[in-house]
Amino acid sequence: MSSWASQLKNAQGRLGPDVKCGLNGTSVLLGNYEKCREVLGYCTSGTVTMTSKRISKDEEAEKFYAVKKFRRRAQESAQKYQKRLTSEFCISSCLLHPNVVHTLDLLQDKNDNYCEVMEFCAGGDLYTLVLRAGKLETAEPDCYFKQLMRGVEYLHEMGVAHHDLKPQDWCF
């Protein structure tokens, strides 16, 4: 366990300026990011939407993000909800690998729902990619599988186990 903790601390030192490690309690989602542009998907724990943020006030250029809005579980106290999301965020925001979606921020919306801001993958998720392609040539599934395994290997090296892997979770 101490090895895992030291790896996370080392990773935190390499994080870029956009990345926060911990709850940004003074921020409100709509104060930092534009309104939701479209719903990207639904999962058992919440809804994922696409949003944007202006790169600078002078320019029209925008950067896109995926925002996962978490639902509070039935019978879950506010304290347990906050602890669950803060713990998940602290782990996920410190993971840096090309085959793992990077988590950038944790905010609360105007209804006190926690929202996790992640990098936006313009290529979509693996499930949609495979459905759209229909039949894949031999090299394509091999390439996708290799990327997936590199991401899982990194998670395991960092002491993280995912409990519900599915094609909808893997972005390209």
Query: Does 164 participate in catalysis according to the annotation?
Result: yes
Position 26: which residue type? T
CB distance 55 to 41 below 8 Å: no
Q: How far apart are CA 51 and CA 65, in angstroms?
A: 5
- How does 112-129 read in b/e, with b if 16+ C-beta sit within 10 Å? ebbbbbbbbeeebbbebb
Comparing CA positions, the residue from 26, 29, 23, 24 lying closest to residue 110 is 29
Single out the catalytic residue among 112, 125, 142, 164: 164
Among 69, 29, 73, 67, smallest CA distance to 46 is for 69
Active site members: 164
